[in-house]
Chain A
């Protein structure tokens, strides 16, 4: 491996969170973004092709080394690490609405779900998955919510564009052509 690739590996090993591309420049001021992307590519391939138990993952706008899914059960059984608590259906529904419609107010979330959602919003805010991103210009200037970087990290997504596009969902909102 290239010297810079080894530096990248060491940095990712040492960091407690995903490292963004522009943070890597602090490691070596002479390296350009393209240099780092090259190093990222080399390290990823190294892990993938030489049978490593870890992989290089693009997550929440940065890069992180994670153990491979295949070993999750054994690691958990041995109690070396444990999975975070899963979210309730209600919490996932609210997250789904916010992730696609952000910034969005409580009224719209409740309108779509058909149930009051104040408690769920508070819970998601406490877990750091959503945050208040501003206030609507509408009556009463209600709070607007948006997802946080922790949301992407929780889901293992690189950015919001990794969410499925609406045409990839089985339900389309367009009415059938025969109608009307």
Chain B
């Protein structure tokens, strides 16, 4: 990301904050500018001097925190350090640490030159007008469909035949039948003083039967018709007549 002080900055859709510099298109541009200003031979860059100038320019332009400029500053300082290392005069394997930088600078310089050429070409084109302004043709709407109802039904049939047989679930409403469960409980209480919870349910109770009976039991226990007792948690409870029990 290019960052700098003065320029206006559109915020792109992805939220990244991009700031474009008025004067320099990046660290390579700034470096080339310094090299040109100092009339330096690009093949023999005095790294120590140019690194100082680069840092000073960064500071003056308020680029102290721009990552790309910091990276270039670090690169310059590393090259400066490498050049300070002692080496033997006849060391053939030694490679000038400035080489890669010079290659990139020249490559960038070439890009700049092409960019200027493109700008000139675009300006040349822009000053020659084509005949009048012709609005671009709108996307033509699809032609209206023409078919008979038979054709449509056939098409539907074709689509349906490709589908696997649908599995149709029938949803049956099953409300809790608390009333019936209450009647059954009261009847049982009438014939027996104590009985177990399981005896209230039939031989093969459904979920709805169990729930209905439970609600009926709790309701009757609350109104005192019956008493619920349990010897330990989670053991089957025993139902007996409560204080409000009346024979009907």
Contacts and interface: CB of A to CB of B under 8 A. Distances in A.
SS of A interface (majority): mixed
B244 interface: no
A126 B131 CA distance: 25
B155 interface: no
Interface stretch (B48-56, B105-113, B196-204): B105-113
Contacts of A87: 119, 122
Contacts of A83: 126-127
Interface string A78-102: 0011011011111011011101100
SS of B interface (majority): helix
Interface residues of B, number: 46
Interface of B: 1-2, 10, 12, 16, 18, 20, 25-28, 43, 68, 72, 102-104, 106-119, 121-134, 136
Given A69-B127, A119-B18, A169-B113, 19 more contacts: A17-B130, A68-B128, A72-B129, A83-B126, A87-B119, A88-B20, A92-B119, A96-B114, A96-B118, A99-B114, A112-B111, A113-B25, A113-B28, A113-B108, A114-B68, A116-B18, A155-B121, A156-B122, A163-B117
11 contacts: A66-B129, A75-B129, A81-B129, A86-B126, A93-B111, A99-B114, A113-B25, A115-B26, A115-B68, A119-B18, A175-B102
The 8 closest A-B CB pairs, nearest first, are A156-B125, A72-B127, A96-B114, A115-B26, A92-B115, A16-B134, A66-B128, A83-B126
